[in-house]
Amino acid sequence: KNEVEQSPQNLTAQEGEFITINCSYSVGISALHWLQQHPGGGIVSLFMLSSGKKKHGRLIATINIQEKHSSLHITASHPRDSAVYICAVGRGSQGNLIFGKGTKLSVKP
């Protein structure tokens, strides 16, 4: 079993829909990261969180440490949100990251 599991693997939505991507992990972590990878390959860090909730524009990330679960929400989705969203957990003070397999999101106009 992978240490970091994401669901769903693929997600298609209509423009304007509210989107949720889930991440569960089975190891102790120091922080959880949400990353975005666009076609063409570049990776951008969206959030790093160790507790509670963070918001940036239309993106919201939450984490429940007790349940070892995090969610990434996108409000009012737009075709430019189409990308692969990757959950990664960090171990140790700065340590390495263990990555989920990613969720491929496609937002149709």
Partner 1 sequence: DAGVIQSPRHEVTEMGQEVTLRCKPISGHDYLFWYRQTMMRGLELLIYFNNNVPIDDSGMPEDRFSAKMPNASFSTLKIQPSEPRDSAVYFCASKATAPGTIIYFGEGSWLTVV
86 sits near partner 1 (criterion: CB under 8 A): yes
104 sits near partner 1 (criterion: CB under 8 A): no
27 sits near partner 1 (criterion: CB under 8 A): no
Nearest CA-CA partner of 3 in 26, 22, 31, 34: 26
Which range binds partner 1 by CB under 8 A, 21-29, 58-66, 72-80, 88-96? 88-96
How many Å apart are CA 65 and CA 48, to the nearest integer? 14
Nearest CA-CA partner of 100 in 72, 77, 75, 81: 72
Chain residues binding partner 1 by CB under 8 A are 33, 35, 41-45, 47-48, 86, 88, 94-97, 99-102
